[in-house]
Amino acid sequence: MSEILVEVTDKDFESFLDRNEIAVVEFWDPWCSICSEMAPVYEELARKYAGKAVFGKLNMRESRKVPDEYEVYVTPTFIFFKNGREVHRLGGLMDPEKLEEDLKERLLSP
């Protein structure tokens, strides 16, 4: 995993949110072809907005409790958090500009 993406698990999910005012978590599956397609897009966003938001990845094959709690049924699902609370989510294959636009609108605006 890239240095700019934080691997998140069931065990450390809550502390990850507590430590980071603005965070995005990608819920993904290693067998998901759409996840593979979106991975470079997500990594590029993490690079571009490093220092403004923290980007995590949660492998749904290894961690099942948090996806169940957040009712994540589509992979990938991107959930945006501000002060530990979900403020927005997107799922599936999408236009990279849409993911970035929603990130800026929901998390990075005052």
For the stretch 59-100, pLDDT in tens is 999 999 999 999 999 999 999 999 999 999 999 988 889 989
Residue 108's pLDDT band (cuts 50, 70, 90): confident
Range of the domain at 18: 5-104
99 assigned to some structural domain: yes
CATH of the domain at 82: 3.40.30.10
> Catalytic residue numbers?
32, 35
Determine how many CB atoms are found less than 10 A away from the CB of residue 85.
Answer: 8
110 assigned to some structural domain: no
The sign of the CA dihedral 64, 86, 20, 77 is positive
Residue 109's pLDDT band (cuts 50, 70, 90): confident
Quote the crossing angle between the two packed helices 96-103 and 33-48, to the nearest 10°.
50
Tell how strand 77-82 and strand 22-28 pair up.
antiparallel
Q: What local confidence, expressed as pLDDT, does residue 110 receive?
A: 64
Count up the domains in the chain and report the number.
1
For the stretch 2-42, pLDDT in tens is 568 999 999 999 999 999 999 999 999 999 999 999 999 99
